[in-house]
Amino acid sequence: MQFSVVTPTSNSELYLAETIESVISQKGDFEIQYVIMDNRSSDHTLEIAQYYQRLLSSEGLRIQCRKISLKIVSEPDQGMYDAINKGFACTDGEIMAWINSDDIYLPGALNAVARCFRDVPEVKWLKGVTSYMNEHSEFVAAGQCFLYNRSWIEAGYCGPLFPFIQQDSVFWKRALWDRAGGCDGSLRLAGDYFLWCSFARYEPLYSFPRYLSCFRHSTAQLSAQIEEYWREARRKRDVPGLAQESLIKWCVNSRALPRWLKIALRRRILGPEKFHALTEGAEGWACWPGAGAAGRSRTIVDRVTSVVLANG
């Protein structure tokens, strides 16, 4: 199995080394194609990337998977999602993901993902658990494994009403990327939101109860510009999750309504809830719920609202 991983960079010298090391230190029976797309950084970003490229080419690093290749492209781009599209165009790996230049993969992340895709071939994309660290690389909080309804993703509810699908712990098969047409390279902030909407048109998202990545909270990151994020999304199209936000949030969160009535209203407005998740048993990963999904049980905190799947 081969992973294609892209990191877009632009003046990313502060944390890039941590990101690179989190990728090239992954251990398991797979190969990694790693592409760093640099937007002509004016700081030491390019030198840092080239340092690791030299280490890999000179066998100065102990590789713990079958093979790692590191390609660096330094050229102007139209934004992060344009760079991501260009980066993936340089690869042909079966499993795809991008990791931003201030986030990291946790040890064992790619091995867990590879095992899952091998054990459950019907999975075309999955979302693991994102944890959090601060600007000093200090662990802040463990994440939770959320359940996602495919129709709600496609309709745009994930983000405005339900938890964001955080990209750093999302992996998908290349065939799905090709069907969706990749990211919208004209977008600066909300490209991930529309990519997930596109993916959901074709396949359900499987929740994967494994800690895969750490997202860094930083005032400089693009994701901190949340109001502009949604303004950009609205410029592209009407976002159903925002257009119906007040009514749905009232139905989801109101303390004035009895729980049975809130459930009935939410089902009426949002449609039936149907979630896809994975569980690990003695024979490997399997779909949950469903036949053959042996292993530790999962606890759903609320199957209709934010639908949290507790980690085992």
Q: Are 68 and 24 in contact (CB under 8 A)?
A: yes
pLDDT at 235 over 80: yes
Distance between CA atoms of 265 and 19, rounded to whole angstroms? 44
* Domain hosting residue 92, numbered range: 1-102
Does residue 187 share a domain with residue 142?
yes
pLDDT tens for each residue of 175-215? 999 999 999 999 999 999 999 999 999 999 999 989 999 99
CB atoms within 10 A of CB 15: 19
Q: Over range 127-148, report the average pLDDT.
A: 91
Helical ranges in 138-290 per DSSP H: 150-155, 174-180, 191-202, 226-236, 240-243, 245-253, 259-270
Classify residue 85: in a domain, yes or no: yes
Does residue 164 share a domain with residue 72?
no
Does residue 243 share a domain with residue 298?
yes
Does residue 256 share a domain with residue 135?
yes
Question: In which region does residue 159 sit, left (phi positive, over 0), alpha (psi from -120 to 50) or beta (all else)?
Answer: left
Does residue 163 share a domain with residue 133?
yes
Phi, psi angle pair for 311, to nearest 5°: -75, 145
Number of domains, the chain: 2
Does residue 164 share a domain with residue 80?
no
DSSP-based three-state secondary structure for 179: helix
pLDDT of residue 242: 65
b/e per residue, 234-255, with b = 16+ CB within 10 A? eeeeebbbbebeeebeebbeee
Does residue 274 share a domain with residue 138?
yes
Does residue 276 share a domain with residue 142?
yes
- State the chain's mean pLDDT as an integer: 86
pLDDT band at 286 (very low <50, low <70, confident <90, very high): confident
Residue 48: in which H helix or E strand, if any?
helix 45-57
In single-letter form, the type of residue at position 86 comes to K
pLDDT tens for each residue of 294-308? 334 444 444 444 445
Choosing from 35, 70, 102, the residue where a domain stops is 102
Q: Over range 269-289, report the average pLDDT.
A: 78
Does residue 156 share a domain with residue 81?
no
pLDDT tens for each residue of 48-105? 999 999 999 988 788 999 999 999 999 999 999 999 999 999 999 999 999 999 999 9
pLDDT of residue 118: 95
In single-letter form, the type of residue at position 185 comes to G
DSSP-based three-state secondary structure for 7: strand
Does residue 167 share a domain with residue 81?
no
CA end-to-end span of the chain, whole Å? 26
Q: Over range 241-255, report the average pLDDT.
A: 68
> In Å, what is the CA distance from 229 to each residue of 39, 82, 215, 226?
21, 16, 18, 5
Classify residue 108: in a domain, yes or no: no
C-alpha dihedral sign at 58, 63, 67, 69: negative
- What DSSP string runs through 81-138? HHHHHHHHHT---SEEEE--TT-EEPTTHHHHHHHHHHH-TT--EEEEEEEEE-TTS-
pTM: 0.89
Classify residue 156: in a domain, yes or no: yes
Q: Are 36 and 98 in contact (CB under 8 A)?
A: no
37 vs 289, higher pLDDT: 37
Residue 17: in which H helix or E strand, if any?
helix 16-24
Does residue 264 share a domain with residue 195?
yes
